[in-house]
Amino acid sequence: MEKTKVAVVGMGVVGSGVARLLLDQGDRTARHAGRTLWLERVVVRDVERARELELPAGVLSDDLSLIIDDPEIKLVAQLIGGLEPARTIMLQLLESGKDIVTANKALLAEHGGELFDRARELGRSIAFEAAVAGGIPIITSIGQCLSANQINLLQGILNGTSNFIVTEMEEHGADYAATVAQAQKLGYAEADPTMDVDGSDVAQKLAILAHLAFGARVHWQDIPRQGIDRLSPTDIQYASQLGYRIKLIAVAERTDQRLELHVSPTLVRMGRPLAEVRGAYNAVSVVGDAVGRTFFHGLGAGQMPTASAVVADMIDTAVGRTQITFRTLELWSRRESGVGLLQHRESSSRFYLRFSVNDHPGVLAQIAGILGENAISIASVMQHESSENGGDHQIPLIIMTHSASEGAAQDALAEIDQLDSVQAGSIRMRVLDR
């Protein structure tokens, strides 16, 4: 059988899974690729480091030139994280005639334009299924399978680490810091998990999806975002009493020619598919004008789910399919985007509000008054009886609103936080009923 020599740069969580699939499932990959994907070289930073997988003799190296200078290696899985040296290595690999497969969404979200331009100029391709939602084939689905549609709505849970953390907090009352450490140990989190939990990783993935689905050229840092790093167990409990679970939700919704994008911890009604996504699972709901609502669910982080997507991309590239779709894919093309962004203040939602108030007469009326002045209608109020009879101690007051604009909600909370009987730092989260 014909042999295609391939290489892997980076043998951490994902790279080890890719090497494992290539070595242990060679027959399977050969059957699908119509040729053997021969793992010729794996390049890492530190060859002395203990590895969970033993490679055939002579494969492991810390010398990138062994790949760059080998004209027989045509296909490289680039699996190091972060921006540099990942960007420089990717450019060097392209310049030396390699097609690339990558899982690095941070790199694509930041330098996708430059890398895709260079790949097109050089007649090379970049495949990146693993960069968004791990093992879920969402890039292929949106880029190819749903291409007959105008996509109008995309809602998703796009970070496995965050979803693992909120699930553990909700189901087991787990401690936040300990759960972050567990997500790192399980291989879900990035080397530095900050971007997993502060919403940045999700914004990067949403920018890629919005680009693919709507042609929107938006930089991930321009997407309003909030993570789960300040989520309190108190809100998880109140949400549960109200019949909701809190999830880190990414939204891209097109109305006319304007696109609403945001990432935020959101109350999702129990029983809705997104509310039932647990642990390191991700999910994406995509609504197209012809297909209607579709729902994709699967592991969004972790070694083998991610390796599954990387190796499928390697097979597609070895066969020549990637090169065809890469030429026609609108992603980071030079074509002008016809889609403008909706100002975040103009977007609307129902809201969950939690105030910490003094148990004084008239406090509820003051808060309701300010909400009313800002055209925010109250849907329900929850305040448990206090064991003390009034006074200066703080009690929680939960208000669910009807749909209101983001701007009105921001203004109302800023005003309420100024009241003497309300502790500053009131909580506001979006509610997803649709």
Whether the CB-CB separation of 17 and 306 falls below 8 Å is answered with: yes
Query: Residues binding ligand HSE: what is the number (CB under 6 A)?
Result: 11
Q: Which of residues 184-223 bind ligand HSE (CB under 6 A)?
A: 188-190, 196, 201
In three-state form (DSSP H/G/I as H, E/B as E, the rest C), the secondary structure along 238-304 is: HHHHCCEEEEEEEEEEEECCEEEEEEEEEEEECCCHHHHCCCCEEEEEEEECCCEEEEEEEECCCHH
Residue 58, number of CB atoms within 10 A of its CB: 9
**Closest residue to ligand NDP, based on beta-carbon distance:** 12
Is the Cβ of residue 183 or residue 251 nearer to ligand NDP in the bound state? 183
Residue among 5, 74, 98, 205 flagged as catalytic: 205
Is the Cβ of residue 134 or residue 156 nearer to ligand HSE in the bound state? 134
Please report, in angstroms and rounded to a whole number, the separation of the first and last CA atoms in the chain. 52
Pick from ligand NDP, ligand HSE, none: which does 196 bind, CB < 5 to 8 A by kind?
ligand HSE
**Which one among 96, 102, 159, 264 touches ligand HSE, defined by CB under 6 A?**
159
Pick from ligand NDP, ligand HSE, none: which does 298 bind, CB < 5 to 8 A by kind?
none
Q: Which helix (H) or strand (E) holds 10?
A: none
Q: Which of residues 263-302 bind ligand HSE (CB under 6 A)?
A: 300-301
Pick from ligand NDP, ligand HSE, none: which does 307 bind, CB < 5 to 8 A by kind?
none
What is d(CA 392, CA 424) in angstroms, rounded to the nearest whole number? 15
What is d(CA 79, CA 21) in angstroms, rounded to the nearest whole number? 15
What is d(CA 432, CA 332) in angstroms, rounded to the nearest whole number? 31
> 3 catalytic, yes or no?
no
Residue 149, number of CB atoms within 10 A of its CB: 17
Enumerate binding residues for ligand NDP (CB under 6 A): 9-15, 43-46, 49, 79-81, 85, 103-104, 130, 134, 187-188, 190-191, 301-302, 306
Pick from ligand NDP, ligand HSE, none: which does 14 bind, CB < 5 to 8 A by kind?
ligand NDP
> Is residue 303 part of the contact set for ligand HSE (CB under 6 A)?
no
Q: Contact positions toward ligand HSE, by CB under 6 A?
A: 134, 159-161, 188-190, 196, 201, 300-301
- The set of catalytic residues is 205
